[in-house]
Structure 1
Amino acid sequence: MLALSDAQIGAWVASFVLPLFRVAALLMTLPLFGATMVSSRIRLYMALAITVVITPALPPMPQIDAISLRAGLLCAEQIIIGALMGLAIHMLFQTFVVAGQVVAIQMGMAFASMIDPANGVNVATVSQFFNMLVTLLFLSMNGHLVVFEVLVESFTTLPVGGGVLTGQFWDLANRLTWVLAAAILLVLPAITALLVVNIALGVMTRAAPQLNIFSVGMPVTIVLGMVILWINMADILNHYQALATEALQWLRQLVRAR
């Protein structure tokens, strides 16, 4: 009969379950993988598969009692770390979503909304287009592989039991401001051009009060807005590279990786 001690059971639980919580929390908050259109069962299977693959390369885990308060605190710590890592990448995607929302309001397309299958909320069609664009760029440039590489490295730079990222919460608030600033800079040329168009329509209305601005101005603003947005898309790849590089660098700083 196979006899197992409490120390052996605790070591097995710690070596697999604790990394599993960090990996699962990352997948739950990571864009695309954590979307509502991806089944929770599939995300769980992916977390189990990734944990099985990376477990042999991880440093030794602390010895814990499988049923104890310390084990629960360590699991909560891993959930917080994984969720913060996923949120760091989620901010990159939300930068483009906010940029699409801002330019949609300026060009009069804010009323044209659709259900976002990833988040289950109504968003402007321009925002959804930007979201799909950044998703394809992120996957085509192997951004998800970089995230998984940082995840594996985080178990060395931020070991289990080393404490949660208390010093990074203030930086997280600053990153929320970075999202809004980066979104505005992304579509600043389009916003400026649409502002000139709106000023011109206002001057026309002032010069000819009998002109119906709603029947003339809205179609003109939408058509010119689509043209301006198309011109602005010519430099979208350079903007994405700069924002993605900054987001991934912050992800490494978050877990104190090289």
Structure 2
Amino acid sequence: MFEFAAAEVSRWVASYMWVLFRVASVLMTMPVFGTQMLPVRIRLYLALMIAMLITPQIPPVPAIDAFSLATWVIIGEQILIGAAMGFMLQLLFQIHVLAGQIVAMQMGLGFASMNDPTMGISVAVVAQVFTMLVTLLFLSMDGHLVVIEVLAESFTTLPIGQGLLATDFHTLVLRFSWVMAAALLIGLPAITALLIVNLSFGVMMRAAPQLNIFSIGFPLTLVFGLFILWVVLGDVGAQYHSLATETLEWLREMVRVR
């Protein structure tokens, strides 16, 4: 009777532990929840709560000793799957960060940087504005709830013990080129407008060489850049909706969720 109880306890602990590692990996790497602004203890409590809710709904897990080598292999698989899902979501945020960096360099605000509390590094102020705006859009459109739904369904499409072989990591690798293209698409109106402004200053300097183009051009470029940034931000909601929909579709495709 004691050996049977020990086996049941080992299976129960192993099943919850494997789910916890995948859930925790997603929460540690995804935007908003995986940043330094949210304490690690809160993330751990949230991962425990989600794991306890998901575990009774998943298919039966393999009957493996909790202290065997196969258990550590399965744990590694769950960490890789969860981290891949989190990094896929990070691409959505990095698109807007990169777009903000490009616009800041074009309008002369590349030197104006501030500490990003989410990543702990210095970024351009314009990129920080894009980051805060995307974070608010992500939460207001229930993006975190969609991620939790996909995470719960991934335990059915990628069962524990064979999920790594079925995971489409090729999808994640191919999306890195998409990040640069999408960032350029967001910043293209501002880049084009600022290029026209710089060409106009070039024509003015050619026509009137006595003008001090540096003392006149930099303030005007900055003012025009702020105006253009205000115009670009007016359409960022529609662009975010399109990019977020595409990112979540790719996330579902990666974990085979339909």
Give the corresponding residue for 1:103.
103
Aligned-pair CA distance for 1:4: 4.7
Contact residue 6 and residue 65 of structure 1 kept, 8 A: no
Mapping 1:36-55, distance limit 5 Å: 36-55=36-55
Query: What are the Cα deviations for residues 169-202 of structure 1, in whole angstroms up to 9, with x where unaligned?
Result: 3332220110110011012111100110011111
Size of the aligned set, in residue pairs, is 258
Give structure 1 stretches of 5+ with no counterpart. Answer: none
Contact residue 113 and residue 124 of structure 1 kept, 8 A: yes
Query: What are the Cα deviations for residues 146-176 of structure 1, in whole angstroms up to 9, with x where unaligned?
Result: 0000000000001111141676333322201
Query: What are the Cα deviations for residues 38-90 of structure 1, in whole angstroms up to 9, with x where unaligned?
Result: 11111111111111122221211111111111000000000000000011111
- Which TM-score applies when normalising by structure 2? 0.96
Query: What are the Cα deviations for residues 118-141 of structure 1, in whole angstroms up to 9, with x where unaligned?
Result: 000000011000001011001001
Give the corresponding residue for 1:200.
200
Contact residue 172 and residue 254 of structure 2 kept, 8 A: no
Q: Percent identity between the aligned chains?
A: 58
Contact residue 99 and residue 187 of structure 1 kept, 8 A: yes
Aligned-pair CA distance for 1:233: 1.8
Give the corresponding residue for 1:23.
23
Give the corresponding residue for 2:172.
172
1:14 aligns to 2:5 (yes or no)? no
Structure-1 separation of matches of 2:166 and 2:100: 32
RMSD (Å) for aligned C-alpha atoms: 1.5
Contact residue 113 and residue 123 of structure 1 kept, 8 A: yes
Residue range with higher mean Cα deviation, 93-102 or 228-237: 228-237
Structure-2 separation of matches of 1:40 and 1:221: 43
Structure-1 separation of matches of 2:9 and 2:91: 39
- Which TM-score applies when normalising by structure 1? 0.96
Give the corresponding residue for 1:84.
84
Q: For 1:252, give the aligned amino acid.
A: R
